[in-house]
Amino acid sequence: MRYTYTNPQLERERDNVLRTIMEKRGMCTFLARELGISKAAVAQWYSIPDHHIQAISRLLDIPQYQLRGEPSPRAKVDA
C-alpha cells in the first residue's frame, strides 16, 4: 500500500479579493515588478500580506479596507 502525502497548505484557496485581482491577465507580473519582488513570491500568496496592502491599494486605486475583505467603513456622524 502506498501512502499519499497531502500538504494542507496546497489545499488552501486564495481569498476572494486576491482571486479577483489575480484573474486579470498580467497582474502577477505587474504586482511583482511594482513591489520589487519575484513573480513566484506573488503567485504563492493566499491573501495579500499586510505589509503590501498600502502599496497595492495605491497601485490599483482600491481602498485598503476592500483589500482586507472588510465591510465598508461607516460614515462618522457628528452629534
Please report which confidence band the pLDDT of residue 8 belongs to, taking 50, 70 and 90 as the band edges. low
Cα torsion 11, 70, 26, 44: sign: negative
30 CB contacts (<8 Å, ≥6 apart)?
A: 59
59 CB contacts (<8 Å, ≥6 apart)?
A: 30, 31, 34
d(CA 2, CA 40): 31
Please report which confidence band the pLDDT of residue 1 belongs to, taking 50, 70 and 90 as the band edges. low
pLDDT at 72: 73
**pLDDT tens per residue, range 23-71:** 999 999 999 999 999 999 999 999 999 999 999 999 999 999 988 877 7
More reliable by pLDDT, 40 or 14: 40
Cell numbers linked to 51:
505589509
d(CA 38, CA 28): 9
